[in-house]
Structure 1
Amino acid sequence: MAESGTVISDGMAEVLRRLHLDAPGDPAAAWARVLGAEGVALTLLVGAERTPEPLWCHPELSARFDELQFTLGEGPAPDAIRTGSPVLEPDLDRVRPERWPALLSAAAELGVHGVCCFPLGIGAIRVGVLTVLCDGDRRMGEQQYADAGALAAALTGAFLGGDLRRGGDGSPLGIPEPPSVLHRPAVHQATGMISVQLDVSMQEALLCLRAHAYGSERPLGEVAEDVVARRLRFRNDPTDDFTDDFDDDGSGPNSPDGGKG
């Protein structure tokens, strides 16, 4: 039974049952099919910085939208994580432009029409977010809301409660541990390097990285790889209180200092 009082569908009941089976593979395709969604993505928060890390996405559009939100640092998923409440926007055309000024046009270019995000967590504890891309008719019915909410609740319990990783018969759940290997290691490393280069906090360094990715219309991970490879260096301009120079190819391995600067 979902919190809204709507009984979950038979399809979602089967999905939840399979969470208690040691079923290998990515279940996102099955979730999308049951929810009648264009796509589904599950993102977890890992590390001391609580960085969003993708775990399961289907199809590729979901992965690209997840990466877009991560690059921009705005959108329904970041809002759901911040507030701990679902963010339901099944028609992005109806969202005020000032709410997500960078995301809305980029989402339209991707072909994403509507998004509903359900946080994974209890109270102040956040472990991740379930993102559901709405289908082309830009509607999400009461049954879909109930099913998505039930799935988010089940995943929250599985990730928060170690004892919930095993079923009543002792069999392992089909839910993995939060990833120990980061999918976005270059972003973490680049953030640390920029923090040193600009003498700012890690949070400010990530904002600078995001700003450059947005300004250059490139994925955050791609820009981070340039920083790590020393093809891109962030510098404070001493003539300006807050100016970042982006020295592309100025300190890479072919530079005069051999990329050691």
Structure 2
Amino acid sequence: MTSDGMAEVMRSLRSAHGDDRAQVGARMLGVEGVAVSVFPQPAASAPEPLWCFPGLSLRFEELQFTVGEGPGPDAVRAGVPVLEPDLRRVRHDRWPALLPAAQELGVHGVCCFPLALGGVRLGTLTLLCDGARGLSARQLTDTDMLVAALNSVLLTERGPPLPDGTEPAGGDEPLWPVEGLHRAVVHQAAGMVSVQLASTMEEALVRLRAFAYGSDRPLGDVAEDVVARRMRFGHDEDNGYGPYSPGNGEG
């Protein structure tokens, strides 16, 4: 049975705008934050943040993307929810880069649910928890309802092509904006770095992530520097082997 709170969340999927949907979801689910991320293309390697509330939710999504580990990537790979409402109880070697950084951000617990229908990957729903307790039976039931609703709506509101190859129908306030998704620049940068290092795309992405993490910068910002030729990876006479800024601004 749908609770009154979840009925409001369902209505917000059609009537609210942008991050207001995440704000309603966080309030009605009784969690610290909500983030919905989507795959801009079925073959994409990581989902893009779509709605996030509060700002901490977006920062955590970017952290997972930068370090390439966490409950979100695990949920996508396994296709099952990853529930860690108290990150202090997680073994350090499970997410060695993410856990200390999440603590610095002030993230105490995370529960991540994959969004998918059949063989179509749609994205993830991430809930930030207070770290004091797990999700209650009521919260889990409501979250399951929200996951089902998101799966349905994302397939019919300017989402990826449907399994039969047809284009989804649009809505007055599309949930899946064509503009504003920025992680394509990371893959473009990885392609450039792979040429600069004569390496595979996978190795280039690892190098980008390592540099972003080591310099405490978002991966997207580092990628933009590479694409704009403000940074390149390779050998430089003055700086040796590694990332450096070309003196003339050309890659």
Q: TM-score range by the shorter chain?
A: 0.7 to 0.9
CA contact (8 A) 2:66 2:213 kept: yes
Structure with the greater alpha carbon radius of gyration: 1
1:233 aligns with 2:232: yes
CA RMSD after TM alignment: 2.6
2:70 to 75, 80, 93: 75
Q: Which residue of 1 aligns with 2:165?
A: none
Distance 1:194-1:90 versus aligned 2 partners, 3 A rule: same
Amino acid across the alignment from 1:246: G
Q: Number of residues paired by the alignment?
A: 237
Amino acid across the alignment from 1:259: G
Q: Which residue of 2 aligns with 1:142?
A: 137
Q: Which residue of 1 aligns with 2:243?
A: 247
The separation in 1 between residues aligned to 2:82 and 2:172, in whole angstroms, is 28
Q: Which has the higher contact order (CA 8 A, sep 6+)?
A: 1
Q: Which residue of 1 aligns with 2:193?
A: 194
Q: Which residue of 1 aligns with 2:5?
A: 11
1:101 aligns with 2:96: yes
The separation in 2 between residues aligned to 1:123 and 1:236, in whole angstroms, is 46
Query: Once the 2 structures are TM-superposed, how far is the Cα of residue 162 of structure 1 from its aligned partner?
Result: 5.8
CA contact (8 A) 1:16 1:151 kept: yes
CA offsets 1:161-217 (integer angstroms, 9 cap, x no match):
4699xxxxx994755235354233432331221122123333332122111112222
CA offsets 1:33-65 (integer angstroms, 9 cap, x no match):
001111110101123434321100000100110
Q: Which residue of 1 aligns with 2:249?
A: 259
Amino acid across the alignment from 1:247: P
Q: Equivalent residue of 1:151, what SS?
A: helix
Q: Equivalent residue of 2:7, what SS?
A: helix
1:59 aligns with 2:54: yes
The separation in 2 between residues aligned to 1:192 and 1:67, in whole angstroms, is 20
- Normalised TM-score (structure 2): 0.84
Q: Equivalent residue of 2:47, what SS?
A: strand
CA contact (8 A) 2:35 2:51 kept: yes
- Normalised TM-score (structure 1): 0.81
The separation in 2 between residues aligned to 1:63 and 1:124, in whole angstroms, is 27
Q: Provide structure 2 residue ranges, at least 5 long, that are not aligned to the other structure.
A: 160-168
1:92 aligns with 2:87: yes
Query: Once the 2 structures are TM-superposed, how far is the Cα of residue 17 of structure 1 from its aligned partner?
Result: 3.3
Q: Provide structure 1 residue ranges, at least 5 long, that are not aligned to the other structure.
A: 1-6, 165-169, 238-243
Distance 1:159-1:44 versus aligned 2 partners, 3 A rule: same
CA contact (8 A) 1:22 1:173 kept: no
1:203 aligns with 2:202: yes
The separation in 2 between residues aligned to 1:146 and 1:129, in whole angstroms, is 17
CA contact (8 A) 2:188 2:227 kept: yes
Q: Equivalent residue of 2:116, what SS?
A: strand
Query: Once the 2 structures are TM-superposed, how far is the Cα of residue 100 of structure 1 from its aligned partner?
Result: 0.6
Distance 1:23-1:113 versus aligned 2 partners, 3 A rule: closer
1:216 aligns with 2:215: yes
CA contact (8 A) 2:64 2:70 kept: yes
1:153 aligns with 2:148: yes
1:34 to 2, 14, 28: 28
CA offsets 1:54-103 (integer angstroms, 9 cap, x no match):
10000010011010000001000011111110000001111111111111
The separation in 1 between residues aligned to 2:99 and 2:45, in whole angstroms, is 25
Amino acid across the alignment from 2:3: S
CA contact (8 A) 2:158 2:174 kept: no
Distance 1:145-1:173 versus aligned 2 partners, 3 A rule: farther
Distance 1:142-1:173 versus aligned 2 partners, 3 A rule: farther
CA contact (8 A) 2:34 2:126 kept: yes
Query: Once the 2 structures are TM-superposed, how far is the Cα of residue 30 of structure 1 from its aligned partner?
Result: 0.3
Q: Which residue of 2 aligns with 1:121?
A: 116
Distance 1:25-1:102 versus aligned 2 partners, 3 A rule: closer
